[in-house]
Amino acid sequence: CVTNTRKYFKLISRSLWVCFSLDALKKTATKLNLNSNNIIIKTKQKNDAEFVKKLRETVSNVVENSKMKMKIEQMVDIAHELGISVDEDCPQCQVAKKNADAITAEIQDIPNYKEAQLPLQGQIWKELTSLEKEEFRLRKVGTQDVEMYKSDLQEKKKELRKQQNSYDMSKAMSCFISAISRPGTDRCYFLKWMRMNLDNLSREKLSDLREQYKKKCKDSEKKEEIKDIDKQLSNSSLGTEHFFREMGQIYEASLSLPETSPSRQQLKHLPKLCAELLRDGFPLELVDGDASNIPLRWASDVLAQLSDLVSPQNKILVVTVLGVQSTGKSTLLNTMFGVQFAVSSGRCTQGAFMLLLRINEDVKKVLNCDFMVIIDTEGLKSPELAQLDDSHEHDNELATLVVGLSDITIINIAMENSTEMKDILQIVVHAFLRMKEVGKKPKCQFVHQNVSDVSAHEKNLRDRKILFQQLNEMTQAAAKMEKKEEYKSFTDVMEYSPDTGNWYIPGLWNGNPPMAPVNAGYSEAVYEFKKNVIQLLGNRDRQKLIESSRITQKK
């Protein structure tokens, strides 16, 4: 039905007559003052396709020609008149909405707003990132004394931290921290309203920029203009992660102040606030996608507080997904674990986000752990990021980090993008050749998405062999460069089997969205894959015992 305030337009077919008798239909028509033009009946002479077409045409005409249109939020009074309960009437929800609106109502121009209200994560943070990387890599040291060079870098870092501390906490950040300091339900409502408000604001701005980006991309000669629009896209993106990122920078900057400083003492509670949110199921930004850096002290202190909240004795497993842009990584995690990572076509996720899941009692017996950390990463090999000079290095850093943190890495590949993962995997192999010395050998599973054939696993035996051969060649090349030529196979570096380490999953949609229905086979295949992942992780302790006993026997 389509509602026009107080009058109802009913579309009733004979297929509903199992529920409504003819008398009931007449009573309903009389009560709602409906005439024959308001009722569509499916006769035996009319097939389903014609009937559905008629329904669509009628509904479209009503929607287009309706003179009175309003937003759902404006229908609250009408809902009350009709006796419909409204969830948002809850006092906690109303207070949270008021707090969120107080922050977002002042946003007119997103880049200017970020510069004024979230200044610590701008150019200063990017310069700090550059100095920190140079301090460890020493690529520009040249003929200078290494210790003197490091000392200069540290002085520059201190100067930048002073600049950060020179800013007073903005009004927006004061309101944000105050709102998330409220009890659990209140801050859950607040963060939900913040997400909706910020998504609406970003959508309006980003849609125009994306249209410009599409037009410029058709002209390959306008690379500088494309680069400029890409920068605007990044600057015009605003979400709750930016507020948490600013909170992290405020905290890190305060650590450079004397321990007795009142400013530092007032900010000591921030990591615990974020740890409580992480415990309650909110994602935490692990890698800043704009600066390509981890705020180490902030992340360490948040995780230390989390450890205290959930008991230090608890065991945690880490599952990571890695893949080329727009291969369905976030959707895969959401389907597997019932979480809500942001999903969209294009570079939606930026950097890496971690989310804590409490394991229920049944699965706990299998996995022998209390919590699972899920890490979602941004798409690698993104066309937008390719405009930047250090895009390849950015991808390599991200891939190496998240694989290094994980107990099992899901490498997600769309069938049309399989070759694009080779150079990323090669970097991962390099990293793990070095990490073998500390006993790190993570599990690895390849997920091939958008596979239409149900017998794909049997028919792609040749492709799996070719993939394994390529992985072995990459391992041998990397081992030669690392002077560890005893490693000949990919399985020497990562725990992987060509037969059991590849999963084929059909496309999510039956047809083209947005009207296409969801493919039930997608969920079924993901469920089978999830069972396999749990089984693999559950066997890890038994395999470690076997390996340790072999080592003992050799000794």
> What secondary structure does DSSP assign to 69-103, as a single string?
---GGGGHHHHHHTT---GGGSHHHHHHHHHHHHH
Q: Count the helix, strand and coil residues of the chain and give each as a percent rounded to the nearest 5.
A: 60, 10, 30
pLDDT bin (cut points 50, 70, 90) of residue 18 is very low
The reported pLDDT for the residue numbered 331 is: 87
| Residue 157 burial by Cβ neighbours in a 10 Å radius (0-12, 13-18, 19+) | middle
**In this prediction, what percent of the chain has a pLDDT beyond 70?**
84
Lowest mean pLDDT among 153-157, 335-339, 432-436: 432-436
Domains of the chain, first to last: 14-69 (no CATH), 316-554 (3.40.50.300)
The reported pLDDT for the residue numbered 7 is: 41
The mean pLDDT of the chain is: 80
Bigger pLDDT: 388 or 474?
474
pLDDT bin (cut points 50, 70, 90) of residue 437 is low
Is the confidence at residue 171, as pLDDT, over 90? yes
The reported pLDDT for the residue numbered 384 is: 52
Is the confidence at residue 191, as pLDDT, over 90? yes
Is the pTM higher than 0.85? The answer reads no
- SS3 of residue 501 by DSSP: coil
The reported pLDDT for the residue numbered 152 is: 92
| Residue 519 burial by Cβ neighbours in a 10 Å radius (0-12, 13-18, 19+) | middle
Is the confidence at residue 109, as pLDDT, over 60? yes
Bigger pLDDT: 210 or 92?
92
Bigger pLDDT: 7 or 136?
136
Lowest mean pLDDT among 124-128, 154-158, 317-321, 362-366: 362-366
The reported pLDDT for the residue numbered 106 is: 86
Q: How far is CA 425 from CA 140, 155, 434, 494, in A?
A: 28, 37, 15, 11
The arithmetic mean of pLDDT across residues 464-487, rounded, is: 84
Is the confidence at residue 95, as pLDDT, over 60? yes
The reported pLDDT for the residue numbered 418 is: 56
Most confident of 148-162, 228-242, 417-431, 450-464: 148-162
Lowest mean pLDDT among 89-93, 296-300, 510-514: 510-514
Is the confidence at residue 6, as pLDDT, over 60? no
Helix axes 110-117, 184-217, angle to 10 degrees: 130
Rounded distance between C-alpha atoms, residue 155 and residue 520, angstroms? 58
Rounded distance between C-alpha atoms, residue 328 and residue 347, angstroms? 11
Q: Count the neighbouring beta carbons within 10 Å of the beta carbon of residue 232.
A: 18
pLDDT bin (cut points 50, 70, 90) of residue 275 is very high
The reported pLDDT for the residue numbered 170 is: 92
The reported pLDDT for the residue numbered 442 is: 80
Is the confidence at residue 5, as pLDDT, over 70? no
Is the confidence at residue 130, as pLDDT, over 50? yes
The reported pLDDT for the residue numbered 424 is: 67
The arithmetic mean of pLDDT across residues 487-505, rounded, is: 85
Is the confidence at residue 495, as pLDDT, over 80? yes
The reported pLDDT for the residue numbered 345 is: 43
